[in-house]
Amino acid sequence: MARPREFDEEAVLDKAVLCFWNQGYEATSVRDLINETGLTGASLYNAFGDKRALYQRALDHYVNCSVAQRIQSCDALPPREAIGAFFADIVQRSLSDPQHKGCMLVNAALELAPHDPEFQEVIAGVLMRIEHFFLEHLRAGQSDGSIGKSTPPELLAKHLLGVLMGVRVLARVRPEPGLLKGVVAPALSLLDIPDTP
């Protein structure tokens, strides 16, 4: 009979997320993970496998605790408000992070996806989930009259995804309120209903 684990797996994943998020995948050593989580090397390997497998678990944990929760909380809002709240939260998180870590998912897209087909597929799946969130709210907003119909929702959803990626990358090197809000505002203005002459 297997012995029960003597540690809180979620707490360990929280610490692994911070370690990878702060340093990136390549720069994070197994020794860093041992020091951060407090587990022995044997316990770490027994519980999670190798460094790559732990990174996958940590990235999944990040997505579930950050991206999925943001989508869930915004889904409860009216369409236009949902999209605005999504970006407001992104900008607020980007500006309030003193370490300027950006988004772990976007960091993974830049560091790992170009060289690792499995991670590329995982990251692309999450990005498609975000794009789908935008698309569903754009369609609902165009249907209920709260979002303008001058641009097809499919194109707007792709544009908003690109804006999101840009904000998260900019936040790592120029976390300035005026810059990040200045990137988001024109994108959200595309949702406006044109004034009737």
pLDDT digits (tens, 9 = 90+) for 87-123: 999 999 999 999 999 899 999 999 998 899 999 999 9
* pLDDT for position 6: 66
Q: Is 44 domain-assigned?
A: no
Q: Assess whether pLDDT exceeds 50 at residue 176.
A: yes
Q: Could you list the residue range(s) of the whole structural domain that residue 97 is in?
A: 59-189
128 within a domain of the structure (yes/no): yes
Do the domain assignments include residue 69?
Answer: yes
Q: Cα(111)–Cα(93) distance, rounded to whole angstroms?
A: 21
**Total of domains in the chain:** 1
Asked whether residue 4 is domain-assigned, the answer is no
Residue 165 lies in a domain: yes
Nearest to 57 by CA among 108, 22, 7: 108
> Does a structural domain hold residue 64?
yes
pLDDT over 70, % of the chain: 95
> Is the predicted pLDDT of residue 2 greater than 70, yes or no?
no
Q: What is the CATH number of the domain that holds 72?
A: 1.10.357.10
Report residue 191: phi and psi, to 5°: -85, -10
pTM to 2 decimals?
0.90
Alpha helical stretches, state H, the chain? 9-23, 30-37, 41-48, 51-62, 68-75, 79-96, 104-111, 117-144, 153-173, 177-189
Q: Is residue 100 part of a domain?
A: yes
pLDDT tens across 25-72, in order? 999 999 999 999 988 888 888 889 899 999 999 999 999 999 999 999
In this model, does residue 1 exceed pLDDT 60?
no
Whether 3 maps to a domain, the answer reads: no
